[in-house]
Chains A and B, each alone.
Chain A
Amino acid sequence: MKTFDYIRPATVSDAIAAAAEPGAVYLAAGTNLLDLMKGGVTRPDRLVDVTRLSGLDRIERLPDGGVRIGAMVRNADLAHDMDFARAYPAVAEALLSGASAQLRNAATVGGNLLQRTRCGYFYDTASACNKREPGAGCAARDGENKLHAVLGWSEACIATHPSDFCVPLTALDAVVEIEGRSGRREVALEAFHRLPGDTPERESVLAPGDLIVALRLPSEARGFSAHARYLKVRERTSYAFAVVSAAACVRIEHGTIREARLALGGVAAKPWRARAAEEVLAGVRPDPAIYRKAARAALADAKPSGDNAFKIELAERIIVRALMLAAAGTPQRIPALPASPFSSVPGVLHDA
């Protein structure tokens, strides 16, 4: 690891000034950043430690019914906050399906949004990667790409975003509060991450010095609490990144879906909001045939980026299942195996 200047600013504005310099990065828990630094994937000159900034570690109920989560709130603290978990159960379930208990105790909300991809070529500094080194090429494109993107990818980059947390957040219209040199602004999470295009190294809308200070979920998002699930398919029962995941939230009134929210994880360089599917679902009676139609709509533009056509099929099926689970109702308690297919509610039909 390259040596670096370590700065622990006292205020947000000091932090922004310190981090705006070239080569500077923010340090929160460091669960991803230190991993990347140890692998030589990133070699920052300066770490600006934002873990002690005051006011960033609170979960606040807003007057309008929404919730504001400070960027330094730890993943585990958020997931286990009773009010939060009741209001946004799919978000809590997603959080608890990610990484391990140790990592969740450390990792922050803001840091989770900025997780880098798990593409093996991105991590392997001897391989070509446009994200790591713009213009170097993409070794994944013709390489081992079973787990790579099927939506929104480009010839320059086929990596996926690894976050579980961001998937239900995107579905629920979360908003990112950012402070930067030019003051405070807000960006919908759906617009926060960028698709690769020709510039896969630019992963988000953040400019140098920009600091995520909070995340907001609007009050409408509470309306889905009775029917909200996150479902994640992975190659081992726990402590694994998603092959594909889905957050499904529906508002059912008098046996009809009034509104549906749907997002996919593990399929693109960003958490993927499936708005076309949501439109299919609005105003219809819950039914597997409709779910399948919605799933097809969600994946209409999907195409394999390599040896990963199965992910398109899998994504369609996980949408159907997640919708079935959501329609069946949010469980009273987050399942023992959060987001796992092995925590399905007994009696929910498979083979949809």
Chain B
Amino acid sequence: MNFSISLTVNGARRDIELDDPRVTLLDLLRERLQLTGTKKGCDRGQCGACTVLVNGQRINSCLALAISHDGADVMTIEGVARGDQLHPVQAAFIAHDGMQCGFCTPGQIMSAIGLIEEGQAGDDPERVREGMSGNLCRCGAYAGITDAVLEATKNLAQSDQRRSA
């Protein structure tokens, strides 16, 4: 049985013939669309490495069936930068060394973008830590991650202000 679904992935429409209903959004991205920036750390919603934005909200793509997301707008780590111009969250992760091995980093960055968009944490470090707690980092880069998210939040707010001014 084949299923036709269509997704918008990083702004581009993708029509996909799914030959198997079991394919998760994560495995679709990694193994069938060759978007391997999104990582599989646990495959059970327990580590956050597979975080992507679906319709603007961060979710664990390992616990999402691709077929159930027909029509969704998906943003992955590959869609964050504009060419060589990094997203402020990406730049802040480099500046604050919010990574070591880098394996959880795409998920951390997608989660951070989602968190900032949700607007619940603002400039409160404790809310940032709580809001980023769905993304495990075994190397222990949490201090840099928190600082990076706080800085990116500030930078994005300033650029929003500039735009609206």
Chain A positions within 8 Å of B, measured between CB atoms, are 1, 3-6, 8, 27, 29-31, 34-35, 38-39, 47, 49, 51, 76, 80, 99-103, 105-106, 237-239, 336-338
Does residue B44 face the partner (Cβ distance < 8 Å to A)?
Answer: yes
Does residue B21 face the partner (Cβ distance < 8 Å to A)?
Answer: yes
Instruction: Apart from A6-B65, A76-B57, A100-B48, list 7 A-B contacts with CB within 8 A.
Output: A27-B65, A30-B63, A34-B63, A101-B118, A105-B114, A237-B130, A239-B133
What residues of A have a CB within 8 angstroms of the CB of B88 in the complex? none
Q: Which of B52-79 contact A (CB under 8 A)?
A: 57-60, 62-65, 67-68
- Whether A105 contacts B126 in the complex (CB less than 8 A), given A1-B22, A27-B68, A34-B24, comes out as no
Q: How far is the CA of A76 from the CA of B1 in the complex (A)?
A: 34
Q: Is the CB of A38 within 8 A of B134?
A: no
User: Which residue of A4, A6, A238 has the most chain B CB atoms within 10 A of its CB atom?
Assistant: A6
Q: How far is the CA of A34 from the CA of B27 in the complex (A)?
A: 13
Closest chain-A Cβ to B26's Cβ sits at a distance in Å of 11
Q: Is the CB of A101 within 8 A of B131?
A: yes
Closest chain-B Cβ to A215's Cβ sits at a distance in Å of 21
Q: How far is the CA of A49 from the CA of B134 in the complex (A)?
A: 26
If over half of B's interface residues share one DSSP class (helix, strand or loop), that class is named, otherwise mixed; here it is mixed
Q: Is the CB of B65 within 8 A of A99?
A: no
What residues of B have a CB within 8 angstroms of the CB of A3 in the complex? 20-22
What residues of A have a CB within 8 angstroms of the CB of B114 in the complex? 101-102, 105
Question: Would you list 8 pairs from A and B whose C-beta atoms are within 8 A, ordered by A residue?
Answer: A6-B67, A27-B68, A30-B64, A30-B65, A31-B60, A38-B43, A51-B68, A105-B59
Q: How far is the CA of A8 from the CA of B43 in the complex (A)?
A: 24
User: Which residue of B3, B111, B114, B134 has the most chain A CB atoms within 10 A of its CB atom?
Assistant: B134
What residues of B have a CB within 8 angstroms of the CB of A239 in the complex? 133-134
Q: Is the CB of A31 within 8 A of B133?
A: no
Binary per-residue interface labels of chain B (103-127) against chain A in the complex, 1 for a CB within 8 Å, 0 otherwise: 0000000010011001010001011
What residues of A have a CB within 8 angstroms of the CB of B48 in the complex? 100, 102
- Whether A38 contacts B44 in the complex (CB less than 8 A), given A4-B21, A31-B60, A102-B59, comes out as yes
What residues of A have a CB within 8 angstroms of the CB of B120 in the complex? 80
Q: How far is the CA of A39 from the CA of B42 in the complex (A)?
A: 12
- Whether A49 contacts B124 in the complex (CB less than 8 A), given A4-B22, A31-B45, A101-B115, comes out as no
Closest chain-A Cβ to B4's Cβ sits at a distance in Å of 13
What residues of B have a CB within 8 angstroms of the CB of A29 in the complex? 63-64
User: Which residue of A8, A35, A76 has the most chain B CB atoms within 10 A of its CB atom?
Assistant: A35
User: Which 7 pairs show the lowest CB-CB distances between chains A and B?
Assistant: A100-B134, A238-B133, A336-B126, A6-B21, A105-B57, A106-B59, A336-B127
Q: How far is the CA of A254 from the CA of B63 in the complex (A)?
A: 50
What residues of B have a CB within 8 angstroms of the CB of A336 in the complex? 124, 126-127, 130
Q: Is the CB of B63 within 8 A of A101?
A: no
What residues of B have a CB within 8 angstroms of the CB of A106 in the complex? 59-60, 63-64
- Whether A47 contacts B21 in the complex (CB less than 8 A), given A30-B65, A35-B44, A105-B57, comes out as yes
What residues of B have a CB within 8 angstroms of the CB of A76 in the complex? 57, 118
What residues of A have a CB within 8 angstroms of the CB of B90 in the complex? none
Does residue B146 face the partner (Cβ distance < 8 Å to A)?
Answer: no
Q: Is the CB of B68 within 8 A of A103?
A: no
Q: Is the CB of B22 within 8 A of A101?
A: no
Q: How far is the CA of A8 from the CA of B21 in the complex (A)?
A: 12
Does residue B153 face the partner (Cβ distance < 8 Å to A)?
Answer: no
Smallest Cβ-Cβ distance to B56: which chain A residue: A105
What residues of B have a CB within 8 angstroms of the CB of A100 in the complex? 48, 60, 133-135
Within the complex, which residue of A31, A101, A237 is in contact with B111, where a contact is CB–CB below 8 Å?
Answer: A101
Q: Which of B130-149 contact A (CB under 8 A)?
A: 130-131, 133-135
What residues of B have a CB within 8 angstroms of the CB of A51 in the complex? 68
Closest chain-A Cβ to B106's Cβ sits at a distance in Å of 13
Q: How far is the CA of A31 from the CA of B63 in the complex (A)?
A: 5
Q: How far is the CA of A93 from the CA of B64 in the complex (A)?
A: 25
Q: How far is the CA of A111 from the CA of B129 in the complex (A)?
A: 27
